[in-house]
Chain A
């Protein structure tokens, strides 16, 4: 006998968490950016108003609310208002091109799009356009965000259960088209607990959010305070200033934040960094391995703070493995060990476990694994074959349980922290009339770790397209970070007996971005 469900008492959904946090500590500051400071009571009131305003626009339980903004308070507010209504937030990468955004809007058909003036023009008109809400609207047909916050009538609360969808996060795959990974409230709550458990979490972390809010890492970070009643600090602008960052870390007594190793190196190199009065407890690094010199500088600048590198993917509500700074020196190249709640196996094609030390695909189970891909039952079934989520990462595990990614089944490049799926770039280049065949691989890059390089077989070997032409062709079709930064014209692609392109040979051939392999490439 399962008793009737009481709507409020056990709720973990984020709307309920916000209500409780505002009740418990109304006057504590929760959000600080250069433009504004907000207490829990103010955030709760604004989200309450916005939720009612969105409901007036017709947003209902299960509807999608797309969000296209740079990091700013209104992103947080829109997410929370959507979640409070039981609607699904759809964060959009603001670097996507118009056609890419259009594809996502057509796929998940949001009833409302919340955006800012500078980006609203990026969205091409489509057959069923969402109502557009603009945060800094001046005039015209768009709905004003602040008007919604202030003007709506009070509505009864919507009961949102933990297994309801909270976010639909678009991520590409081998197929080329992005898919919406649907994450539930429970997925994200379990993820927050898992990371806290793995890092010795405590109450009231002060998180500096230097990652994009449309990214799963950003979403996980900005939801953190709802559980641990901490604070969120959003730094100014898009440019990274190590000295100003250090000031901010000190002034706000930041306890947790993420930067890539080169950024950490710059922060640690600010004169007098070691003498600052810092509260930093959890410096995260990632996107590339940290060289020993950076790890040592971090250990000296932030004594006693265990640094961590996080590894995971959107479909697992972010982190599945963590590597601590202490282990990073002796386990160079490892992504670390699984966090609590995440169950892993390394398996072969028949879902049989591979022996320790051998390579297999890492597959996941656990409460942080996504619910499904939006509107894509076949892709979901494929991802969940055998009752485990297939990551596409080929890994081996050492005898101490540390995992090493040796290759990817999904053909992907990580450039500046963004995932680039080769199939998507190849499809764009393939549409160029001068291209007969193309293969895209990642090559080393001093700043972005990796960058895409295209190997092109021209239709007419005597008149191959120029590299500029290929890159320009991509610019209108793909987000800028996805376009190749070099193009190599080849007579044929290396293939195995089965006809599959041998990308490892192209990578060997490709060298690094600053050491072009052939004179025809440009950088």
Chain B
């Protein structure tokens, strides 16, 4: 089959083309708000072009990686679209990472240009030199000198690389194509029942998270308005005020944030049409509190991971109470199986790993063919979540194959923390487990076998040691000492045993839930 003339241009579906379409169809509609600042679609498109021109002048070419290190602000969205317009790849960096971690990710993806906020750059002074730095604070660049190049971008090519850790080793860059994100947008809009351009979205997530960015993209796709929340510290009262001011019709928060929003809202009215949560389990009392505070507003929980461009399953409406604890049912286009170690389907109701196919499954890990092959063994993406499916088709997460803690909405991979702590001279052996936390849902605890049992290291010294090497949210908040770690016959640490041993007596339990 020979493609027709103009094939690429006429039916192109890359992200910059999508924005161009919106700038044509909704030029004056408000695309984005942040504080008192705002962008119309036409302005967003123009600023994205200006950023594209600037980056082109700095030598960015199709396929190049451009890292972005910034807290939430409008310029981040300009920059994301400016990068993809050039056919280059956005690498958003978590603003809470340590210098070592940032450097690792920059080196791993080979980014030569870093778009960063001045204040964050000052926290990582040694990052400046090897990179060509563009300061977010200096955007927009002087406009109009040269038109932004707009090469034909294959929607199958990578648009984003988002770093995520796994069971083993250092973080890996998950590559998401334009098409991944567009189909994630379609599925998410259908899953959440968002159709009209009259919607206003308030997301409590940072843009460097797939959950934050994909939800922004979703609302922009239908010409709606997105209100960016500050990603520096959560203030429930300010969030409520912003939602009231901008007339938010939808919002995403992690459960602890919803709790705070319910506490803060008082007599104020928010015209919500849906309230969305995810990242960690929400206890029944919270769901009830949400429905009392916002009567009649559908409750939606989202479940997924970076490698599937965010949500794969949602739990909606009446099901959120009837099937509480379930992650719901797969979104349109997402195929799931629940399989054993030999990729055989387990009988309905039994536990297996949930694996995925579909247009939102990532392209692979950057420069990690082995890890990609492993994650996609048998032609399905292996989530690492152990699930069962009930007779009604609802999926329940019962455990994780990947050893991970979700704290305050952030994923912490135990292996990563353990590998840092094992380099501490006072530590002979270490296992990191998640313990319940009233605010963060879970928090890391280091269980340590000291090198010298008579003089174990000072717990605060261990915590400081971790903090020096890792993002702050990854450091253990408590340390326990043991003589020996319990292990099974093949030498694997029995973390379940450790968790029950060190879990404080508390009424709260819940199903485990992954980041959306």
Contacts and interface: CB of A to CB of B under 8 A. Distances in A.
Given A12-B359, A198-B195, A24 B12 contact: no
B274 interface: no
B211 to A, nearest CB: 20
A368 interface: yes
A200 interface: yes
Q: Which of A9, A24, A202, A381 has the most CB atoms of chain B within a 10 A radius of its CB?
A: A9
A306 B154 CA distance: 37
Contacts of A203: 329, 332
B337 interface: yes
A369 B11 contact: yes
B504 interface: no
A311 interface: no
B156 interface: yes
B376 A9 contact: yes
A384 B157 contact: no
A174 interface: no
A366 B4 CA distance: 15
Interface stretch (B68-76, B186-194, B253-261, B465-473): B186-194
A343 B195 contact: no
B335 A388 contact: no
B63 interface: yes
A11 B156 CA distance: 12
Interface in B151-203: 154, 156-158, 175, 179-180, 183, 186, 189-190, 193, 195
Interface string A5-20: 1111111100010001
A373 interface: yes
B258 to A, nearest CB: 25
Interface residues of B, number: 54
B22 to A, nearest CB: 9
Q: Which of B20, B24, B380 has the most CB atoms of chain A within a 10 A radius of its CB?
A: B24
Nearest to B360: A10
B333 A12 contact: yes
A479 to B, nearest CB: 27
Interface in A322-375: 338, 340-341, 343-345, 364-373
A206 to B, nearest CB: 16
A200 B376 contact: no
A365 B7 CA distance: 10
B204 interface: no
B87 to A, nearest CB: 11
A343 B361 contact: no
Contacts of A387: 6, 9-10
B287 interface: no
Interface residues of A, number: 59
Contacts of B183: 12, 193
B5 interface: yes
Interface string A302-324: 00000000000000000000000
A197 B364 contact: no
Given A2-B157, A372-B7, A9 B195 contact: no
A196 interface: yes
B213 interface: no
Contacts, number: 140
Given A2-B157, A10-B358, A23 B3 contact: no
B110 to A, nearest CB: 10
A369 B359 CA distance: 19
A345 B21 CA distance: 10
Contacts of B158: 2
Nearest to A366: B11
B11 A368 contact: yes
A257 interface: no
A371 B11 contact: yes
B24 A380 contact: no
A388 B337 contact: no
A187 interface: yes
A343 B24 contact: yes
A165 B358 contact: no
A3 B21 contact: no
Contact of B4 (A6, A62, A199, A372): A372
Nearest to A373: B4
B379 A6 contact: yes
Interface string B319-339: 000000000010011011100
A371 B24 contact: no
Given A8-B379, A190-B13, A365-B9, A2 B156 contact: yes
A401 B21 CA distance: 14
A164 B380 contact: no
A3 B9 contact: no
Nearest to B175: A3
B357 interface: yes
A371 B332 contact: no
A341 B83 CA distance: 21
B221 interface: yes
19 contacts: A3-B364, A7-B379, A10-B359, A12-B359, A23-B335, A24-B336, A187-B11, A193-B186, A196-B332, A197-B190, A340-B222, A365-B10, A366-B13, A367-B11, A369-B11, A370-B4, A371-B4, A371-B7, A380-B4
Given A163-B3, A372-B2, A384-B10, 6 more contacts: A12-B333, A365-B12, A366-B13, A367-B11, A369-B11, A387-B6
